[in-house]
Amino acid sequence: MSRDDVRKKIEVEDLRLAYGSQEIIHSISFDVRENEILGIIGPAQSGKTSLLRCLNRTIDFCARARVSGSVRVDGEDVRQMKDVFALRRKIGMVAPLPVGLPLSIYDNVAFAPRSAGLTRKVELNAIVERCLRQAALWDEVKDRLDSLGTALSGGQQQRLTIARALSHQPEVLCLDEFSIAIDPVTTMRIEDVLKTLRREITIILVTNLNQQARRLADRTMFLWGGRIVEIDTTEVVFSDNPANPQTYDYVRGVFG
């Protein structure tokens, strides 16, 4: 099966986003394919984070935001979904800086399943272990699950954030510059986690590290000034002959 035959998990068409009178995203269209890692690169203030927030409607928290166009997940327009909480369970989000709940490591991961009504200890135990293993954190914390999550190191807290995002079994995981505040060794460990996770879920990776997209992404989108300059296989985007000369200059550090 060719990559073009893979099912489209997300379809974005003519998406525009404005904060008040200032348009941030200008009529962009693209798709995200099932079980791929889509890398999104581009200079600061290109609209990358705002784009992620449009996908699971966390943009709704900004009263000044105006969105037009369509974002469809499994064919359903997210703006028409009545259960926005179900949408946000389906499309998980990991922020640039780890935001741990002031709870134990165990309770951080069990929080979402409990909120969904799960109370059986044996099931919660299994979910907590599975998610911590998926986030490559289990071996480091299995003997201190009752310790505060906020007492972990920065890299461990970021992996705990990923485990918490995985606890409600998302079908899409959006990561927004997850490595901005962690060391290179931990970054590589999380990258290995993502390579494994892509067998089960779709991943959208916003990164300020071009080489990270090159290592991980199946396809890469170059977003600049709220417009898509280029989207293609990562091999093409980082080649000597991308479709747009601006892409060539950006990935080689000429600007940005």
Q: Where are the domains of the chain?
A: 3-99+173-251
Q: Which CATH number fits domain 3-99+173-251: 3.40.50.300, 3.20.20.150, 1.10.1660.10, 1.10.1040.10?
A: 3.40.50.300
Residue 3 pLDDT greater than 70, yes or no = no
Tens-place pLDDT, residues 161-209: 999 999 989 999 999 998 887 788 888 888 998 998 999 999 999 999 9
Tens-place pLDDT, residues 215-236: 999 999 999 999 999 999 999 9
Tens-place pLDDT, residues 72-131: 999 999 999 999 999 999 999 998 877 777 899 999 999 999 988 889 999 999 999 999
Tens-place pLDDT, residues 194-204: 998 999 999 99
pLDDT at 4: 55
pLDDT at 1: 44
Listing DSSP states for the chain in one string gives --GGGSPEEEEEEEEEEEETTEEEEEEEEEEEETT-EEEEE--TTSSHHHHHHHHTTGGGG-TTEEEEEEEEETTEEGGG-S-HHHHHHHEEEE-SS----SSBHHHHHHHHHHHTT---HHHHHHHHHHHHHHTT-HHHHTT-TTSBGGGS-HHHHHHHHHHHHHTT--SEEEEESTTTTS-HHHHHHHHHHHHHHTTTSEEEEE-S-HHHHHHH-SEEEEEETTEEEEEEEHHHHTSS--SSHHHHHHHTTS--
- Output the pTM of the full model: 0.91
